[in-house]
Amino acid sequence: MVWLTPDLAQLVVNAYQKARAYALANPVKTAATLATVAGIEPAIATAVITDRTKFDISPVPGAKELAVLRFIGPIFVSSGDVASQGLIDAALMSLY
């Protein structure tokens, strides 16, 4: 079984952010890549990238998301997936 380590989680977040920035700066190339990889028509891929996908949203969670994260944090601590509530609190503070 593979566990998600903090370093691996950060690697995934960094890759997502890099891809998001690329997609914002290169929508035509992004649509072309999507069409090729997904095997869909270029016009559909363009619509997905330009009309249906919101890449320009803030990566910082809003108030509702923060409330959910604060609610589930103790669950991770009680299950043993996170060592302490302090680690949860520090992680949440690092978002803001």
Q: Are 63 and 89 in contact (CB under 8 A)?
A: no
Question: In the prediction, which pLDDT does 39 show?
Answer: 97
**pLDDT tens readout for residues 25-79:** 999 999 999 999 999 999 999 999 999 988 778 878 889 999 999 999 999 999 9
Question: In the prediction, which pLDDT does 8 show?
Answer: 84
User: Residue ranges of the domains in the chain?
Assistant: 1-58, 60-96
Question: In the prediction, which pLDDT does 2 show?
Answer: 59
Tokens coding 20 = 């998001």
| Confidence label for 6 from pLDDT (cuts 50, 70 and 90) | confident
Question: In the prediction, which pLDDT does 85 show?
Answer: 94
